[in-house]
Each structure stands twice: as C-alpha cells, then as structure tokens.
Amino acid sequence: MNQRKLSPESNRSRLGWSCFEVFAAIILLSLPLGVGLTLTDQFSPAVGVYGAIATAYLSVTLICVLYSYASRLDRIEMQKLEERYRSIYRVIAISQSSPRITADGTNISVGDYGWEAEPMFKDGLLYLQGLNEKWQVVWYAGFQPEQLERICDKPRSQYYLPNTWVCAGAQPPPCPFPVLSASTASLGFPQRVMFPFIQGIKVKHPDKQL
C-alpha cells in the first residue's frame, strides 16, 4: 500500500455551536424582532410588542418540533453506527503507510485497544479510534485485518458519549479499553466523519494530493 499523507491543516477539534443551535438562535433573535418592528411601523408600538411575543411563541414551538425531529434522526444514526461498528480490537502490527491522525506527541503502539469507527476513506481498511480513559480520541487510523486481533463487542458505542453523559453534565466512568499511552493530548470526543473534516481536522484525500 502506498503511504498516505493526510496533510492536516489543524491539530485541534473545532469548538463552537452546532448548526441547529445557530439556526435556532437566528430564529429567536431575528424573527420576533423583525415582526415587532414591522408592526410598530405600520400600526403602533403595542401591536408591535404583541406581534413580537406571538412570533417568539411560534418560533419556540417551531424550534421544539424541529429539535424533536432532529433528535429522532440522530438516534437512528447512532443506532446504525452501533450496529455497523460493533467491535473492539487490539493492535498487533503497525504499518507506517496506513492513513492516520494522531494527537500531538502521541503514537500508535502495539497492544493498543481500538474502537471500530467510520472509515476515513473507502479503501477496504478497518478503521479504529484509540481512546484514552476520558473517552477522547488519541489516534484514528486504518489497519489491514491481519494487523488486528478482535477482542469483544463494545460495551457501549463511543459515538453516544457527547449526546448523553457529557451534554447531561454527568461524569462518565473511565473508558474500559483505553490506549496504553497516558498522554493528555487528544483530538476531542469521537465525531462523525464529515469529509474533509475528520475528527475536527481538515485533511486532503490521498488520491487528490498535489
């Protein structure tokens, strides 16, 4: 296999609001204000205030409906990920030519546990995420089947974490199958592949290098 250089343009996971949160904030701020100002100009300040209140109520209702729908879709996606990527492996051999992303100062070690994850590229490799005890991704890499030893089914999909424990403010138990390294550096919590962003890092597809 040819060596695959991913050309990372950033070594940190992006932090910020989700698209849905930005969309909801725009609706809650702009729509009632715009309606209120329009009604004030055409009728009176009192009509504008009542119109803004009514619009805000309708906006909140719309956001709740959309949020419920988005949550249902998210649960379906999480279930698909859980069923499709079920296994935990141990690394028994390492190839320097395989695609990988690692946190600063960390390496993949023989004996590391890896949680089966979405593939970075459609190249037939098995992709794993190496997690630390805090459920954060230390490395993300592809392996040939003979480089891995299957250990067991996952006790819990790593993709569920940000939507349950963390968002609820709970302290998660230690990850039961962490990597050997005790490095504090990480790529953040497990994220979906949103090419060209993989685990918050912008990469170039190996077939499109200059």
Within this chain, do residues 156 and 190 fall inside the same structural domain, yes or no? yes
pLDDT at 114: 97
Within this chain, do residues 89 and 76 fall inside the same structural domain, yes or no? no
Within this chain, do residues 99 and 194 fall inside the same structural domain, yes or no? yes
Last residue of a domain, one of 47, 81, 115: 81
Within this chain, do residues 112 and 177 fall inside the same structural domain, yes or no? yes
pTM for the model stands at: 0.71
Contact 86, 153 (CB under 8 A): yes
Decide if pLDDT at 3 tops 60.
Answer: no
Tokens 């504090």 belong to which residue? 184
Q: How far is CA 120 from CA 59, 100, 128, in A?
A: 38, 9, 10
pLDDT at 27: 81
pLDDT tens digits for 91-100? 999 988 889 9
Q: What percent of the chain has pLDDT over 90?
A: 44
Decide if pLDDT at 17 tops 60.
Answer: no
Within this chain, do residues 59 and 89 fall inside the same structural domain, yes or no? no
Domain assignment present for residue 5? The answer is no
Mean pLDDT for the chain overall = 83
Number of domains in the chain: 2
Q: What is the mean pLDDT of the segment spanning 51-69?
A: 88
Secondary structure of residue 53 in the 3-state scheme = helix
Q: Which DSSP string do the residues of 90-148 spell out, in sequence order?
A: EE----TTS-EEE-TT----TT-EEEE---SSSSSPEEEEEE-TTS-EEEEEEE-GGGE
Within this chain, do residues 176 and 127 fall inside the same structural domain, yes or no? yes
Domain that holds residue 34: 19-81
Domain assignment present for residue 10? The answer is no
pLDDT tens digits for 133-159? 989 999 999 999 999 999 999 999 998
Please tell me the distance from the alpha carbon of residue 41 to that of residue 35, in angstroms, as a whole number.
10
Which one-letter amino acid corresponds to residue 70?
A
Last residue of a domain, one of 81, 102, 127: 81
Within this chain, do residues 52 and 108 fall inside the same structural domain, yes or no? no
For residue 201, give both structure tokens. Answer: 């890092």
Last residue of a domain, one of 48, 81, 114: 81
Distance between alpha carbon 141 and the CA centroid of its chain, in Å? 16
pLDDT tens digits for 152-206? 999 999 988 766 666 666 778 899 999 998 767 899 999 989 888 898 888 876 6
pLDDT-derived band at 118, boundaries 50, 70, 90: very high
